[in-house]
Structure 1
Amino acid sequence: MMSQIPDLAGGNGQQKRKILSGGEYNKICRFINGFHGLAIDCEFELRNRFFRDVEPMALTCILQSELFNRSRGHWKQDQRGKRLLKAYEEQKNLYYDNALLIRMACAEALNPVALCRMLLQEKYKDRHRSHISQLLRHPHLIDDPKLAANVQQCIVSDNQEGSITDLRRRIVGEEYELKLKNLAKEAGIHFYDEKDLRRMGYDKTPDIKMILPFLYKGSVINWIESKANFGDTKGHKSNIQQQLQSYCNRFGPGMIIYWFGYHEETPALPDNNIGITVLADFPAKEDLVFMQLAHEEYSAETPTTKEDSSSGSQPIVAECPTKELKKLS
Structure 2
Amino acid sequence: MAVALPNKKKKILTADEYTKICSFINNYRGLAIDCEMEMKNRHFLDIEPLALTCIAQTEHFNRAKRQHWKHEQRSKKLLKTFEELCLPNKDNDVIIRMAFVENMNPIALCRIILQEKYDIKQKQQISRYLKFPHLIDDPRLAVNVQQCVYSDNQDGPLTDLRRRIIGEEYELKLKSLANQSGIHFYDEQDLRRMGFDKTPDIKIILPFLYNNSVVNWIESKANFGDPKTHKWNIQQQLQSYCNRFGPGIVIYWFGYHVETPNLPDNDIGITVLADFPDNEDLVFMKLITTTDVTETKPNSDAETKM
Tell me if both proteins adopt one fold, taking TM over 0.5 as the criterion. yes
Residue deviations 1:248-282 (CA, integer Å, cap 9, x gap): 00000000000000000000000000000000000
TM-score by length of 1: 0.85
1:154-303 paired onto structure 2 within 5 Å: 154-296=148-290
1:145 is matched with which residue?
139
Q: Which one-letter code corresponds to 1:106 in the other structure?
A: F
SS at match of 1:291: coil
SS at match of 1:281: coil
SS at match of 1:15: coil
Distance across 1 between alignment mates of 2:131 and 2:150: 11
Distance across 1 between alignment mates of 2:122 and 2:273: 43
Bigger shift: residues 176-185 or 67-76: 67-76
TM-score by length of 2: 0.91
2:39 is matched with which residue?
46
Find 1:115's aligned residue among 106, 109, 120. 109
Q: Are 2:120 and 2:126, in contact at CA under 8 Å, matched by a contact in 1?
A: no
SS at match of 1:60: helix
| Alignment size in residue pairs | 289
1:9 is matched with which residue?
none
Residue deviations 1:192-214 (CA, integer Å, cap 9, x gap): 00000000000000000000000
How far residue 133 of structure 1 moved from its aligned partner, in angstroms, is 1.4
1:5-84 paired onto structure 2 within 5 Å: 14-77=7-70, 78-84=72-78
Distance across 2 between alignment mates of 1:193 and 1:116: 39
Q: Which one-letter code corresponds to 1:249 in the other structure?
A: N
Q: Are 2:114 and 2:120, in contact at CA under 8 Å, matched by a contact in 1?
A: no
Q: Are 2:209 and 2:284, in contact at CA under 8 Å, matched by a contact in 1?
A: yes
- Shift >4 Å, 4+ stretches: 297-300
1:314 is matched with which residue?
none
Distance across 2 between alignment mates of 1:229 and 1:210: 22
Q: Which one-letter code corresponds to 1:123 in the other structure?
A: K
Q: Are 2:12 and 2:258, in contact at CA under 8 Å, matched by a contact in 1?
A: yes
Distance 1:274 1:294, change over 3 A: same
1:307 is matched with which residue?
none
Residue deviations 1:97-145 (CA, integer Å, cap 9, x gap): 3111001101111110010001100001156332221111111111111
Distance across 1 between alignment mates of 2:180 and 2:89: 57
Bigger shift: residues 138-147 or 188-197: 138-147
How far residue 285 of structure 1 moved from its aligned partner, in angstroms, is 0.5
Distance 1:121 1:284, change over 3 A: same
Distance across 2 between alignment mates of 1:211 and 1:200: 13
How far residue 95 of structure 1 moved from its aligned partner, in angstroms, is 3.8
2:304 is matched with which residue?
none
Q: Which structure 2 residue ranges, 5 or more long, are not aligned?
A: 295-306
Distance across 2 between alignment mates of 1:126 and 1:163: 19
Distance across 1 between alignment mates of 2:176 and 2:113: 45
Distance across 2 between alignment mates of 1:76 and 1:133: 19
Distance across 1 between alignment mates of 2:122 and 2:231: 35
Q: Which one-letter code corresponds to 1:66 in the other structure?
A: E
Structure having the higher Rg: 2
Give the RMSD, CA atoms, in angstroms: 1.6
How far residue 94 of structure 1 moved from its aligned partner, in angstroms, is 3.2
How far residue 222 of structure 1 moved from its aligned partner, in angstroms, is 0.2
How far residue 92 of structure 1 moved from its aligned partner, in angstroms, is 1.1
Distance across 1 between alignment mates of 2:123 and 2:269: 42
